[in-house]
Amino acid sequence: MRLEEYIQDSQTLVNKRINEYINKKESACKLIKDAMLYSINCGGKRIRPTLMFLTYEFLSTGKKTDIVDAAAAIEMVHTYSLIHDDLPAMDNDDLRRGKPTNHKVFGDGVAVLAGDGLLTDAFHIISSSKKINEEKKGMVIEILSRRAGSSGMVSGQTIDLVSEGTLLKKNSKKELAEQLDYIHQHKTADMIMAACEIGCILADKEKDLRSISDFAQKIGFAFQIADDILDVIGDKKKIGKNGSDKKNNKLTYVSFYGIEKSKELEEKLLSESLKILDMLDGRDEHKKLMKEMAYLLIGRDR
């Protein structure tokens, strides 16, 4: 199977499951369902669900549909984070996924609640799943809540938020470099790690968890460096948002290391991640797709 087909198939599956799940809610009010589905249906590459499916299928003989509830959950958590990130109190962006941001359409208050709804329901879709076995549910929830919560993405976002204007302050170079890695690790890499770790756990391959985490951490970092580069040199239409890092005086790889060095770091992380994959046993077809996915994350065709 070609990677494009694999991604499309993953997108279709996850979109269908999230829409079905939200539409079916009887006591949820129409406004919150509309606001949640607006951001879900605004596009989005579904990178995290695709990585979860790939890791699962690489390490087991199962198929995507077995774990669709976990894949839907991680996309719901991701979409919540984007809605909140775009709010005036955070990045104050008008465009996301090429469309007006949630708060531009529904107002700030409803956008906060749409994010809250997606986050909370993500844990409900897992806990009420008829497909994930009971023992595994606890493990999946533990990983997702740890990587998305205050030990993970929320702290990355917090430091990112308060780092605005940091470049103007007198922090030492070493402190800034540490702060930058902290942001990239937690804001971005943690959710990529959660996707692959959950795929690995659901495949019943705890023995491979360390290697899968390392692989995911490297591609997660590389993905964020690529995003920093795109914010500066990317085609606004293609990336579906206006570059706002410079405007917000953000500490990014590009602002700290410059474009050339950022590209070098991205390449190094990519090649290290591929070496980790090479040491793992699994279905060859999926290993190949995972490698292609790693290239795609940094915006390169293989």
Q: What residues make contact with ligand GRG under the rule CB under 6 A?
A: 44-45, 47, 78, 81-82, 84-85, 97, 153-154, 157, 187-188, 224, 227
The least distance separating ligand GRG from the CB of residue 228, rounded to whole angstroms, comes to 8
- The residue among 79 and 129 lying less far from ligand GRG, judged by its C-beta, is 79
- The residue among 97 and 288 lying less far from ligand GRG, judged by its C-beta, is 97
CA–CA separation, 115 vs 122, rounded Å? 11
Three-state secondary structure call for residue 247: coil
* Cβ-Cβ contacts under 8 Å for 105 (sequence gap 6 or more): 35, 38
The least distance separating ligand GRG from the CB of residue 14, rounded to whole angstroms, comes to 11
CA–CA separation, 3 vs 7, rounded Å? 6
* Cβ-Cβ contacts under 8 Å for 278 (sequence gap 6 or more): none
In this structure, what are the phi and psi dihedrals at residue 96, rounded to the nearest 5 degrees? Answer: -150, 135
Q: Smallest Cα–Cα separation from 296: which of 262, 266, 276, 257?
A: 266
Convert 128-181 into a string of H (helix), E (strand) and C (coil): CCCCCCHHHHHHHHHHHHHHHCCCCHHHHHHHHHHCCCHHHCCCCHHHHHHHHH
The least distance separating ligand GRG from the CB of residue 238, rounded to whole angstroms, comes to 12
Report the b/e string of 38-71 with b at 16+ CB within 10 A.
bbbebebebbbbbbbbbbbbbbbeeebebbbbbb
CA atoms within 13 A on the CB side of 300: 15
- The residue among 104 and 137 lying less far from ligand GRG, judged by its C-beta, is 104
The least distance separating ligand GRG from the CB of residue 206, rounded to whole angstroms, comes to 27
- The residue among 229 and 289 lying less far from ligand GRG, judged by its C-beta, is 229
- The residue among 69 and 245 lying less far from ligand GRG, judged by its C-beta, is 245
The least distance separating ligand GRG from the CB of residue 52, rounded to whole angstroms, comes to 13
The least distance separating ligand GRG from the CB of residue 138, rounded to whole angstroms, comes to 23
Tokens at 55, concatenated: 């890791």
- The residue among 46 and 286 lying less far from ligand GRG, judged by its C-beta, is 46
The least distance separating ligand GRG from the CB of residue 156, rounded to whole angstroms, comes to 7
The least distance separating ligand GRG from the CB of residue 230, rounded to whole angstroms, comes to 9
Identify any residues that bridge with 96 across adjacent strands, giving them in sequence order.
99
Yes or no: say if 56 and 199 are a contact pair by the CB < 8 Å rule. yes
* Cβ-Cβ contacts under 8 Å for 19 (sequence gap 6 or more): 37, 40, 41
- The residue among 103 and 187 lying less far from ligand GRG, judged by its C-beta, is 187
- The residue among 11 and 171 lying less far from ligand GRG, judged by its C-beta, is 11
